[in-house]
């Protein structure tokens, strides 16, 4: 049953029975027979199939959500029986924003893996949105509030954002003294999902207000936006987790600090209703110890 469950996950990941067969070196007939055996075992249809595509049924979606956990439990049990229960091992699937992940998270993960040689890592660095359940991610680090209420969160440090630019840019274009003056500047825009972040929030006159900005450069890559800013291409709005060292060294200069919006949060995000393996719980503890305090600028 576990082998067939593992095959089912590969079918979903590869998008079809034939592709899964090629991945695992199995004939189409064998893949089909083993999928049918799994459906008989659970007494449910797991996939809706046409000649061109497959889609998950509700039962298949539930099995996808919990199947990786079942396989991880079985693997963990095997390792505990083999190793006496003392070794922490297995695969960690993690997602994080690109800049934060590269500069802050990767050094922690390197230390964590050095302490636990049995741990393997699959790290997805992206500033976009991920389906944590569908892609089998154990946990993600994300800024701000989440639209998906089915996920569980654990708040870490404050995410204070800074409007900043390079000294060269400010020497050429001048230093804005009010958020409304940003309309005369080249702003470097992040795109989250389909839409660029054209509205930046500021504390103006005792109230939180949004100011529309514009610019010629847009990207869904936060690291690229920071590099553009360092090169003097415009003004960016970035987390202090990402630009704190740039500000401290003078490579970037914070502007409009007196209008800074209230801080949001850096959060650990993970699927609900799932028992966390020991390796995931240990990593969460390490993240809380490292980042569970206000970010320093």
CB 67 within 8 A of CB 52: no
At 296 the pLDDT is: 39
Distances (CA, A) of 111 to 138, 226, 247, 288: 19, 26, 26, 15
Give the whole-angstrom CA distance, residue 279 versus residue 72: 11
pLDDT one-digit tens code per residue, 27-36: 989 999 999 9
pLDDT recorded at residue 82: 58
The whole-number pLDDT of residue 149 equals 62
Q: What is the pLDDT of residues 161-197, one digit of tens each?
A: 899 999 999 999 999 999 999 999 999 999 877 788 8
> What ranges in 142-203 are assigned the alpha helix state H?
167-173
pLDDT at 261 (0 to 100): 84
Q: Which residues of the chain have pLDDT under 70?
A: 51, 79-87, 145-149, 273-275, 293-297
3-state secondary structure at position 222 = helix
Cα–Cα distance between 94 and 140 in angstroms, integer? 6
Q: Tell me if 5 sits within 8 A of 70, measured CB to CB.
A: yes
Q: Which residues contact 51 (CB under 8 A, 6 or more apart)?
A: none
CA 105/CA 103 separation, integer angstroms = 6
Q: Rounded to two decimals, what is the model's pTM?
A: 0.58
pLDDT at 294: 40
Q: What local confidence, expressed as pLDDT, does residue 157 receive?
A: 77
How many residues can be counted in the chain?
Answer: 297
Do residues 284 and 268 touch, judged by C-beta distance below 8 A? yes
């Amino acid at each position: 049953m576990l082998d067939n469950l593992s095959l089912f996950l590969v079918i979903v990941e590869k998008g079809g029975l034939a592709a899964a067969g090629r991945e695992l070196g199995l004939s189409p007939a064998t893949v089909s027979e083993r999928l049918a055996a799994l459906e008989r075992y659970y007494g449910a249809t797991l996939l809706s199939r046409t000649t061109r595509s497959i889609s998950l049924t509700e039962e298949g979606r539930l099995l996808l959500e919990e199947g990786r956990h079942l396989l991880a439990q079985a693997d963990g049990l095997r390792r505990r029986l083999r190793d006496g229960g003392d070794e922490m091992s297995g695969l960690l699937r993690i997602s994080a924003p690109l800049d934060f992940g590269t500069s802050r998270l990767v050094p922690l993960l390197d230390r964590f893996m050095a302490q636990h040689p049995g741990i393997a890592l699959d790290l997805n660095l992206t500033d976009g949105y991920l389906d944590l359940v569908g892609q089998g991610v154990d946990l993600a680090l994300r800024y701000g509030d989440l639209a998906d209420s089915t996920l569980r969160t654990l708040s870490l440090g404050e995410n204070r954002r800074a409007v900043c630019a390079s000294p060269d840019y400010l020497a050429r274009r001048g230093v804005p003294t009010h958020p409304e003056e940003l309309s005369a500047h080249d702003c470097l825009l992040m795109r989250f999902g389909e839409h660029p972040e054209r509205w930046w929030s500021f504390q103006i006159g005792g109230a939180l207000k949004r100011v529309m900005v514009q610019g010629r450069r847009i990207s869904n890559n936060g690291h690229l936006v920071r590099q553009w800013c360092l090169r003097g291409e415009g003004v960016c709005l970035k987390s202090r987790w990402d630009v704190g060292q740039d500000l401290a060294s003078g490579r970037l200069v914070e502007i409009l600090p007196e209008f800074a919006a209230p801080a949001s949060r850096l959060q650990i995000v993970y699927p609900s209703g799932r028992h966390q393996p020991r390796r995931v719980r240990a990593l969460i503890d390490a993240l809380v110890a490292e980042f569970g305090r206000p970010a320093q600028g």
